Amino acid sequence: MKTRITELFGIQHPIIQGGMHFVGFAELAAAVSNAGGLGIITGLTQKTPENLAREIARCREMTDKPFGVNLTFLPVIEAPDYDGLIKVIIDGGVKAVETAGNNPSKYLPALREAGIKVIHKCTSVRHALKAQSIGCDAVSVDGFECGGHPGEDDVPNMILLPRAADELEIPFVASGGMADARSLVASLAMGADGMNMGTRFLATREAPVHDNVKQAIVQASELDTRLVMRPLRNTERVLNNPAVERLLQTEREKGAQLEFADIAKEVAGVYPRVMQQGDVGAGAWSCGMVAGLIHDIPTCKELIDRIMSEAEQIIRQRLLGML
């Protein structure tokens, strides 16, 4: 399948593995890239430029296919060494960067000069248009269904994707609720050039996380996620558990007086405990509503091959058969 996204990133299939904290290590990125998609290393999980340089080198040893690095630009007092991280991305010969969070315009000239293609994650059409205007090569349009941060507009992909297609000139991928061939074909029908999957890749054999995490996703339904930190306008979709219920109770009790410190115990620093130690009740961790469509733990190759094969069947048989 050839789309503007496969052409832009030099990949076989229009499928991108989104950046995920304490998930996007070299093992997963290489497995996705070897299967024909675009694997992504999560930059901030590595914390320092030296660690990221090592992770990029590890990924190089596992694949000769294109892969990318995710950089989330956070509004924090002690910002990561973004200049150093950008430098090791360039020096490591990485050809794709997925940016998220704050405006990445400060870093685009250096990335562009190095021949690196930038895809920015957006949760609204206005943000996607801004990304286009500052020179991003593509955008990932995240609908309300997505795990992690869906923004504050609450627009689902059945509306958001056609709106993006109406407005954008650069390629874009659909993100949020993406799990299978139906997701891909529907996204293409609504004007996207591919899809980005996070939660679905979390439940694969190569995802370097504890089996408890994968089993929790397989066992969850589409009704098992919750929105937290909404009063702080930093909404995050997470898998429900007792810690999340406590967090939501605190939000209800504090109301407009809620501060991050009130819920820090359930949010801050929980990812190593969840993803590496398998303590899935340790706190709030990102998961999309798409958990309701995930019923197995395949290899990345099995998953991507299945998606592409079934997508072809849907297009050639079901859709053409209706004409």
Whole-number Cα distances in Å, 226 to 12, 219, 229, 287:
35, 16, 10, 9
- Please check whether residue 69 is in contact with residue 51, taking contact to mean a CB–CB distance below 8 angstroms: no
Question: Residues of the chain with pLDDT > 70: what percent?
Answer: 100
Grade residue 233 by pLDDT with cuts at 50, 70 and 90: very high
Q: How far is CA 67 from the centre of its chain?
A: 14
Q: What is the pLDDT of residues 91-147, one digit of tens each?
A: 999 999 999 999 999 999 999 999 999 999 999 999 999 999 999 999 999 999 999
Q: What pLDDT does residue 36 have?
A: 98
Q: Where are the alpha helices (DSSP H) in 63-146?
A: 82-91, 108-113, 125-134
Calpha distance 285→264 (Å, rounded): 13
**CATH code, 4-208:** 3.20.20.70
Per residue, the 3-state secondary structure of 75-90, as one string, reads CCCCCCCHHHHHHHHH
**Helix 181-189 vs helix 300-313: crossing angle, to nearest 10:** 50
What pairs with residue 17 in β-bridges? Answer: 197
Mean pLDDT to the nearest integer, 17-24: 96
Q: What is the pLDDT of residues 238-285, one digit of tens each?
A: 999 999 999 999 999 999 999 999 999 999 999 999 999 999 999 999
Q: What pLDDT does residue 79 have?
A: 86
Q: What is the pLDDT of residues 37-88, one digit of tens each?
A: 999 999 999 999 999 999 999 999 999 999 999 999 987 778 899 999 999 9
Domain ranges (residues) in the chain: 4-208, 221-286
Q: What pLDDT does residue 187 have?
A: 98
Question: Residues of the chain with pLDDT > 90: what percent?
Answer: 98
Q: What pLDDT does residue 78 have?
A: 82
Q: Is the pLDDT of residue 154 over 80?
A: yes
Q: What is the mean pLDDT of the chain?
A: 97
The 3-state DSSP class for residue 94 equals: coil
CA-nearest of 107, 109, 19 to 68 is 19
Q: What pLDDT does residue 30 have?
A: 98
Q: Is the pLDDT of residue 167 over 90?
A: yes
Sign of the Cα pseudo-torsion (80, 81, 84, 90, in order) = positive
Whole-number Cα distances in Å, 36 to 30, 52, 137, 305:
10, 23, 20, 9
Tell me if the pTM is above 0.95.
yes
Q: How far is CA 257 from the centre of its chain?
A: 31
**How far is it between the farthest Cα atoms of the chain?**
58
Mean pLDDT to the nearest integer, 161-184: 98
Other Cβ atoms within 10 Å of 309 Cβ, number: 10
Calpha distance 213→282 (Å, rounded): 11
